Amino acid sequence: MSWIKGLILEHCPEHKIFFDVFGGTGVVTAEMLDEVQSAIVNDFLYSNEVCYKAFFGRDRYDFQKLRLFADAVAITDRKTLNDNYVSVNYGGKYFDYEDAKLIGFVREKIQRAYEAGELNEREFDILLASLFYSFDRCANTVGHYDAYVKGACQSSFVFELIEPIVSETEISIYREDANKLARLICADIAFVDPPYNSRQYSRFYHVPETIVKWDKPPLSGKAMKPLLENMSEYSKVNAPIVFNDLIQSLRVRYIVVTYNNTYDSKSSSSRNKITLEQIRKILDSRGKTQIFEKSHSRFNAGKTDEAKHKEILFITKVED
């Protein structure tokens, strides 16, 4: 992040308004907050939107109330709890069975408190984000939820409150299709980090999405996934077309695109759907483009060796 931030500040002198088009976890927006006057962060996952509102929201919240909630969870004996949606579907798979009972218990407790008017919306979002971050730390996975590691569950769930970010920067939060939103937003910088390979984010993070939404859909298959939803065109063969549409639609002074060189990956699911040359050509159509490279250890679940992996950053000064 320090490398990306440094390049943005050096090569994008006009950066009052920052638009994080595919916000993901929100780490880029968080890093840029002190450098901009306003920020727009967007992602199509409900769980990420909740985290944005928890970390970046401006509404008041009662920390003591949240602390008391966390203290009550800490003294709950998970072994005495009844089964619930999380334990039935994810227990002994994505989480230790007793942990899963407590996770489901906490999620239901948050929902009941909110519906009873005991929590305002910001407090509700902070508790949900806290639950998300807490169970993600103990999840029996290799970093995503496309599958779980068989026979590796150990009890380790601890509910811990997140620390919301205090900032005077004006922040707007969206959960929209990026290509549609691009036509409505005016900014100085658009930071673009779309999915590039065939792995659908909505399928990779279906467990946190399901627990945070709490709509309790029917699940199926070994990975216990819900019905298909939010399937991104960026992970399909027409990714170059939708990427071009996005870049042409952005109403900004600078376009910053991050990319990693897995186009020739041995794993077909990891292989990029957009080539470096396609990105360069599309960005060049909007203005002068500079390219920066940095060696970077990529996420690896154990099947692919990318010894020469690089993170690549494109910065385009828009001329039209």
Asked which of 212, 229, 246 is the last residue of a domain, the reply is: 229
- Whether residue 64 sits in one domain with residue 53: no
Containing structural domain, residue 150? 60-163+201-229
Q: What is the pLDDT of residue 268?
A: 45
Instruction: Provide the residue type at 58 as one letter.
Output: R
- Whether residue 66 sits in one domain with residue 12: no
Predicted structure pTM score: 0.89
- Whether residue 210 sits in one domain with residue 188: no
Burial class (CB in 10 A: 0-12, 13-18, 19+), 196: buried
Classify strands 254-260 and 189-192 as parallel, antiparallel or unpaired: parallel
CATH number for position 253 = 3.40.50.150
Share of the chain above pLDDT 90, in %: 72
Q: Which residues does 76 contact at the CB level (< 8 Å), separation at least 6? A: 102, 105
- Whether residue 65 sits in one domain with residue 176: no
Q: How far is CA 23 from the centre of its chain?
A: 6
- Whether residue 65 sits in one domain with residue 53: no
- Whether residue 158 sits in one domain with residue 65: yes
The chain-wide mean pLDDT, for the chain, equals 89
Q: Report the pLDDT averaged over residues 167-176.
A: 96
Matching residue, tokens 């779309």 = 194
Tell me the CA distances in angstroms from 297 to 7, 51, 309, one per residue in order. 20, 26, 7
- Whether residue 174 sits in one domain with residue 102: no
- Whether residue 213 sits in one domain with residue 191: no
- Residue-wise pLDDT tens digits, 122-142: 999 999 999 999 999 999 887
> Could you give the count of Cα atoms lying within 13 Å of 315 in the half-sphere of its Cβ?
16
Look at residue 264 and tell me whether its pLDDT is greater than 70. no
- Whether residue 7 sits in one domain with residue 130: no
pLDDT band at 46 (very low <50, low <70, confident <90, very high): very high
Residue 296 vs residue 245, higher pLDDT: 245
Q: Which residues does 168 contact at the CB level (< 8 Å), separation at least 6? A: none
DSSP code of residue 82 = P
- Whether residue 248 sits in one domain with residue 120: no
- Residue-wise pLDDT tens digits, 146-162: 888 887 678 899 999 99
- Whether residue 187 sits in one domain with residue 133: no
DSSP lists the bridge partners of residue 310 as 295
Q: Report the pLDDT averaged over residues 50-77.
A: 97
* Number of domains present in the structure of the chain: 2
- Whether residue 207 sits in one domain with residue 101: yes
